Every structure is written in structure tokens, then in C-alpha cells.
Amino acid sequence: LNQKKFRQFEAIFHPKSVAVVGASSNRMKDGAIFFQNLLNAGFKGKVYPVNSAESEILGLKSYPKVSAIPGPVDYVLVAVPARLVLEVIEDCVAKGVKAVQIYTAGFREAGTQQGRWLEEEIVKRAQEGGFRLIGPNCLGLYNPSINLNLWGLPPAEAGSVAIISQSGGVAGRATLAASARGVQFSKVVSYGNGADLDSTDFLEYFAADPDTRIIGIYIEGVRDGQRLFQLLQQTGKTKPVVVWKGGKTEAGAEVAMAHTGSLAASNHVWEALSRQAGMTKVDNQDDLVGTLLAFYYLGEFRGRSAGILCGLTRGGGGESVSATDTCSSLGLTVPPFSPQTRRKLAAILPWPGTILRNALDVSIWKEAETVRRALDAIAADPGIDLIIICERIHMLLDRMPKEAVQAINQVFIQLRKQQPKPVVVISPPGFPTTSEQWQIEQELAAARIPVYSSLEEAAKAIARVSQYFAWRAGLNED
């Protein structure tokens, strides 16, 4: 990415002013929701509503068109019916804007000649006007560093994860789900049909972006597959790239055509690509979020040997067996503890029914201090690379005072702080998950402990991180 193009993208992702065409006082209009979200989020720049039928919207003067706005306009969000979009684009050319996001659907993906023609026209006009297009049929940008939050996401600090998503729904939901587990984002983009800017452009930018450390992608199709593959290969050498491909099955590919007008690359091309080292393939949204979570919290983790603690809520024997099965079959190992560790554990947990091996079953709940000593012994074992705690917070809360549960979780937080091996907590949803459970999970996340609702999800994600960094380390040694 040359300096000029990089600066162009920087400007697109950091607009100083945003116009919302289709903003309205009628809260049922989509433009109204975007506009209100932007104001609510406290966007750090100027916001202009554009609607010729209203003079003032939420206390701001409304303009009849973009070119009627007195100051410069960097970013224009278009949320008016498809038949009006061309006129808006022409007005943006007249105004001289930097980027236009078209939320409106009804272009190439509609499968009509009219839709295809309209999409080609707007791209042509944008090129003539010297600005870039995002969309159509998309939710556009999210940049928490300037509170550019069009989607009504909860307020959040900026972080190091970027998502490129062809689907707005996936972009919004994946960002929300990962945020709920403490992940912070540099930028997210939903680009829909990708008529002008496509996945390749955004990937090129995020690869160069110093604020972005980890990249997640949801993609249905791409114009230039060759270029995307090269970029993925190149980017993977310095940043983890997690890719979820939609439309992998024949039936799914047909829906993708109707969704973003994407001619999905044939599946065997994607399969071949995914066998390339350096790219991390995932299969669904939970998988994408879970894997980003592991990359976010585990650092440059290359180990595979899990030390597992089960049975905090009694009846941990079956859990020990199945946790061992799960980790062993999903790419981790559950090695025997060293003789020294076993001796330590025998002294700490002398009760019958306690399985003194990996996965350790503490079996009958002990006070926080006993749990702490057992975990310290496991963490000190040189054969163990990371610690997985099969906690069931909702069951603990059913059986113990809240303070006792908090005390146990403080043990996990201290363990994370006082030694270098990553700590991962498994906490299935309750029936339902209470705010007490949620609060504890938030405290764990704040201490850089990723919380997963199932061990399957966690083991898969951890194994991927390990596999990626082991590959990258090998690369550097060559």
C-alpha cells in the first residue's frame, strides 16, 4: 500500500464531518436511526442531517442536499430509496466529498438489469468525482477512536481488532458479541455489494494500519480472488487473519447471490486457500468471535498443553473425562502432570473422589484458598502451557454466597496476573444468565481472561492461535 492510498483510507476512516442523507425526525426511517446513533455516540466531528422536507432534525439545521452544507463534508451516508441515489451521488460530486457510504439496497443484488445498471453508474460517477464508495447495501464504518458509531453499539474504547464484513448484520453482531467479552476494536467495516471498495482494499489498509493487530473477515464473494489470496498470504505473515466464508455450500452460494450479488468463488478454491498456512479459517459467527477472542487475549501463544481444572461445582469426574476428550480431539493436549505436581496436589487435595491428574477434578467444592494452591501447582508445572478452568458460575452462584464465588474468581484473576501462562475460563450460560454471573464474567475479561460458554469453542480457538504462531515462528526461523 503506497503512502498516498494509505492516507486516503485514513481520511475515509477518520472523517471530520459526516452528512446523513435521509436523516429524519420520523424514527421509523433508517436514516433517522443512523443519525440518532451518531449523535448519541458523541461523534467527534461535525454531523449534518440532509432532508429537503425538514428544516431541523434533533435540534440541528437540516440541509436540502449535501452541496447546500456550508463547510467541507468528508463522509456521506446515503439512506434514501434506490431511485434517488444517483441524484445524491451527483450532488456529492458537485460538493467534493471524500467518501460515500450507500446503505440503500436494490442494486446488483436485486438480480435485475436496472439494479446492475444503477450500481455501475454510481461507481462511474464516484470515480469522476474522485471519491470512494462503500456499499451499496451496507452498514458502513465503525471507528470507536472518534465515536463514529452508526450502529448503536455500546460505548467502547478503541482497541486492536478490525473486522471486514460483507454483511452488516454479521459486522454488528460479531462486534457486539466480542465487545461483550471485552474485545476492543480499531475499526470495523460492512461493505455490502463492494461495488467500489472491496474486501481486498480494506484488507490492504488494515494490514498497513498500525492500530490493527488482528483481522477478522466475513466474505461472501470477491471481484479479484487472485489479489485477495495474495493479500491474505502476505498479511498473515505479520498479523493473524481469521476468515469466515459465507456461501460455501451450493444452497448458501445461491443465497449469497441474492444478498450481496456475490458470485461466490468455487468452494474448492476456498478450500485450497484455507489449507495455506497463515490464514485461520472459521465456520460460523460464534467461531469467528471465539477465535478473535483467543487471538486478542492469548498473546503470541504457541503451546498446546492444557492444564485443566474441573469440579468446582462437584460432580467433576464426568467433566474431567469429557474435558480431556474435547481438548485432545480439538488440537490441544492434556499431558499428565509431573510427579512433583502430583505430589503437591495430593497434599492440597487429600479427599477421596478427587482425581489427582490432568484434568484435575477438585470434586467437592473447597474454599478459594485450596483452589488457589491447586492452580498454583498446575501453573508451576513445566509441562503445562496454559490453564483452562471449567467453571460453572451459574451453578456456583446457586450453591454459594456471591462473596464466596467472587473470592474464587479473584483467585483466577490473581493467577492471570502473577504468572505468564494464559488463563481461560469456561462458563456456560445460566438458566438464565443472571447479572451476577455476567458481572463476574466481565471482571474476568477485564483481567485479560477470555470467557467461553463452551469448552469446544475455547479449545478450537486456542488450538488455532497456537497453530498460527507456531507457523509464524517457523517462518522467521527459515
Within 258-297, which residues bind a second copy (CB under 8 A)?
A: 258-260, 284-286
Helix (H, G, I), strand (E, B) or coil at 124: helix
HSE-CB for 100 with a 13 A CA cutoff: 31
- Number of residues assigned to the chain: 478
Q: How far is 471 from 453, CA to CA, in rounded Å?
A: 28
Residue 210's alpha-carbon distances to 29, 160, 206, 325, 397, in angstroms, are 37, 9, 8, 40, 42
In whole angstroms, how close is the CB of 252 to a second copy at the nearest point?
A: 4
- Please identify, using beta-carbon distances, which residue of 132 and 245 lies nearer to a second copy: 245
String of contacts with a second copy for each residue 359-388, x by CB under 8 A:
x-x-xx------------------------
Q: Which of 17, 137, 280, 466 is in the footprint of a second copy by CB under 8 A?
A: 137
Convert residues 11-50 into a mask of x (bound to a second copy by CB under 8 A) and - (unbound).
-------------------x--------------------
Among 37, 67, 68, 106, binds a second copy (CB under 8 A): 106
Nearest distance from C-beta of residue 78 to a second copy, angstroms: 14
Q: Is 282 left (phi over 0), alpha (psi -120 to 50) or beta?
A: beta
Per CB under 8 A, which region of 7-15, 17-25, 379-387, 425-433 contacts a second copy? 425-433
Which 179-208 positions form the footprint of a second copy (CB under 8 A)? 180
Positions 39 through 98 that interact with a second copy (CB under 8 A) = 81-82
Shortest CB 315 distance to a second copy, Å: 2
Tell me the C-alpha distance between 80 and 77, whole Å: 10
Q: Is 168 a residue that touches a second copy (CB under 8 A)? A: yes
Q: How many CB atoms lie within 10 A of CB 26?
A: 12
**Shortest distance, position 351 Cβ to a second copy, whole Å:** 9
Determine which residue in the list 70, 71, 352, 401 makes contact with a second copy, applying CB under 8 A: 352
Nearer to a second copy, 146 or 176 (CB): 176
Considering only residues 313-342, where is the footprint of a second copy by CB under 8 A?
313-322, 324-329, 333-336
Residue from 21, 88, 139, 449 touching a second copy (CB under 8 A): that is 139
Least Cα distance to 390 among 401, 378, 402 occurs for 378
Min CB(362)–a second copy separation in Å: 12
Alpha helices in 276-401, H assignment, sequence order: 285-298, 317-329, 339-348, 368-380, 393-399
Q: How many helices (H) and strands (E) does the chain have?
A: 17, 19
Q: Which is nearer to a second copy, 285 or 414 (CB)?
A: 285
Lookup result for grid cell 446523513: 20
Indicate the SS3 state at residue 104: coil
Stretch that binds a second copy, among 14-22, 230-238, 306-314, 462-470 (CB under 8 A): 306-314
Strands (E), 376-450: 386-390, 423-426
Q: Indicate the helix (H) or strand (E) that contains 168.
A: helix 168-180
Q: Is the peptide bond before 359 cis (omega within 30 degrees of 0)?
A: yes
CB of 72 or CB of 336, closer to a second copy: 336
Closest approach of a second copy to the CB of residue 98, in Å: 26
Total of residues contacting a second copy (CB under 8 A): 86
Burial of 186 (0-12, 13-18, 19+ CB in 10 A): buried
* Nearest distance, CB of residue 477 and a second copy, angstroms: 29
Query: Scanning residues 446 to 465, which ones bind a second copy (CB under 8 A)?
Result: 453-456
